[in-house]
Amino acid sequence: MNPTRRGILRTALGFGGIAAVHRIGPAWASSLTETPAQTAGPFYPVSRPLDSDADLTLVQGRSARAQGRIVHVMGRVLDSKGKPISGASIELWQANANGRYAHPADINPAPLDPDFQGFGMQTTDDEGQYRFKTIKPAAYPVNPRNPRAVRPPHIHFIVTDRDRRLVTQMYFPGEPTNESDIIFGQLTADDRRAATANLLKATADVEPDALMARWDIVLTGS
């Protein structure tokens, strides 16, 4: 990302870099339950978009914002003892506000959104912090012939540090399709809590109707 683009991103996010995540509170990790590994699914990007920064609501070269409700996803990457992991690479990808991925294998007839980036990357700072600006993805059908088979809103993550790599998914609390989901439903109670974000009240520096999702990622083992 060039310096101008970086400055635009920081202005759009309403904070001076990801270090501002720390203002929300001190040690967030109330539990050091390992974040559960989950499937990457079939829709990891075939090729990464040229614009793959931390603001998925704007596509470089386009003026319109992505459709849907903005959500700021933020947290820290920690080891099993609660120590922040700096320099960890985070990849994030998801469906759009209509429940469709920008992927040739997605047969969902819902419309694509040309103004939604769909994929982002960043590296955790010295405090292990990360922050993305995106939109809340919609639930979507898994099998068009089975209307009950629906995946709840979720966001995919790959987190990689020097000797660990975690593929996982983040869920939103209170979604009616969480419990019936074929993937979330296989998790233990502890893993469900670890895979679910906490929603916070929007602060004054973000959009008034935006969601703020706080989600710490705990890496253990190698």
- Of residues 57 and 10, more confidence is placed in 57
Determine the Cα–Cα distance for residues 46 and 104; give it in Å rounded to an integer: 8
Q: Which residues of 179-189 are buried (b: 16+ CB within 10 A; e: fewer)?
A: eebebbeebee
**Range with lowest mean pLDDT among 47-51, 75-79, 143-147, 218-222:** 143-147
Position 47 scores a pLDDT of 84
Q: What local confidence, expressed as pLDDT, does residue 165 receive?
A: 96
Residues 44-58, mean pLDDT to the nearest whole number = 90
Q: In the predicted model, what is the mean pLDDT of residues 16-45?
A: 66
Catalytic residues: 101, 140, 151, 154, 156
Residue indicated by tokens 């819902």: 110
Per the prediction, the chain carries an average pLDDT of 87
Query: 199 - beta bridge partners?
Result: 213
Give residue 142's region: left, alpha or beta (phi > 0; psi -120 to 50). Answer: alpha
CATH number at residue 118: 2.60.130.10
Secondary structure (3-state) at 193: helix
**Has residue 5 got a pLDDT over 60?**
no
Using CA atoms, how far residue 16 sits from 6, 98, 130, 142, in Å, is 11, 31, 13, 39
Cα separation, 28 vs 31, in Å, equals 9
- Binned at pLDDT 50, 70 and 90, residue 222 comes out as low
Residues facing residue 90 across a β-bridge: 122, 159
For 50, the domain range is: 3-219
Average pLDDT over residues 188-196: 96
Q: What are the Cα distances from residue 57, in Å, to 72, 110, 114, 120?
A: 10, 18, 10, 10
- Whether the pLDDT of residue 155 is over 80: the answer is yes
- Sorting pLDDT into bands at 50, 70 and 90, what band is 94? very high
How many distinct structural domains can be found in the chain?
1
Query: Percent of the chain at pLDDT above 70?
Result: 85
pLDDT at 48: 81
